[in-house]
Amino acid sequence: MNTHLYFWLLLVGFSLLVGYFDLKFGMLRDTSSAARKPYSFARVQLAWWSVIVLTSFICIMTKGEGIPTLDASTLILLGITSATTVTARLVDVSDRSRTNQLIQNQNSDNFILDILSDAGGVSIHRFQMAAFNVSFGVWFLIYVYSNLSISTIDLIIPIISGNNLILLGLSSSTYAALKTNENKTLGQQQQNDQQSKNVRDEAIDSERKAEG
């Protein structure tokens, strides 16, 4: 079978498998008490790069010329995504031990809004992280697909430059750092909303007493 066809079959197959596991077990969702659990950006990012690298790696193996040696840059990339997921999970566990008023306990809006939004709505740092990961991921897939006919299998998977890895690392670090304040921001917002409600209720009571 044509290697390029294998590429698409593997990509679609792994994507469907991830989708099935999410529907069955909530693999891409936050730990949440909500009826519709929101998507976790960190878990989605990890699944995104896992599917891309696995598709590329296994497709190259189907050429029957051996097992490709992954470049250090690919391992660093997977390390960045794994570290981001672990950090996000630790932040969630820490927040859950302090309060039940968590953004993760709010119902899911939809996939896009879930991964791009924090307590204040759609955020620029999440948008930046999503844009970089999608851009590099699509480039990675196109590079591999375009070079599947190369006989030297170790040259099929692209080498990501140090500066580009730093870019992805900084983007993920910014997300992880700002995530530590997401539930604090939510708590402050809820406190402010409650105070505003109390002020309105007092004003209404005062008006009723004046009319009476």
CA 92 – CA 102 distance, rounded (Å) = 9
Residue 48 lies in a domain: yes
Residue 206 lies in a domain: no
32 DSSP 8-state letter? -
Residue keyed to tokens 């009319």: 211
Q: What is the mean pLDDT of residues 19-45?
A: 92
Reported as a single tens digit per residue, the pLDDT across 140-167 is 999 999 999 998 999 999 999 999 999 9
Helices and strands, number each (H, E), in the chain:
7, 2
Residue 192 scores a pLDDT above 50 = no
Range scoring the smallest mean pLDDT among 8-12, 41-45, 150-154, 160-164: 150-154
Token output for 154: 């170790």
Residue 194 lies in a domain: no
Total of domains in the chain: 1
Percentage above 90 pLDDT, the chain? 60
Contact in structure between 18 and 27 (CB atoms under 8 Å): yes
Residue 17 lies in a domain: yes
Res 60: pLDDT: 94
CA 53 – CA 165 distance, rounded (Å) = 15
Res 72: pLDDT: 96
Residue 185 scores a pLDDT above 50 = yes
39 DSSP 8-state letter? B
Residue 203 lies in a domain: no
Residue 195 lies in a domain: no
Percentage above 70 pLDDT, the chain? 84
The domain of 95 spans: 3-183
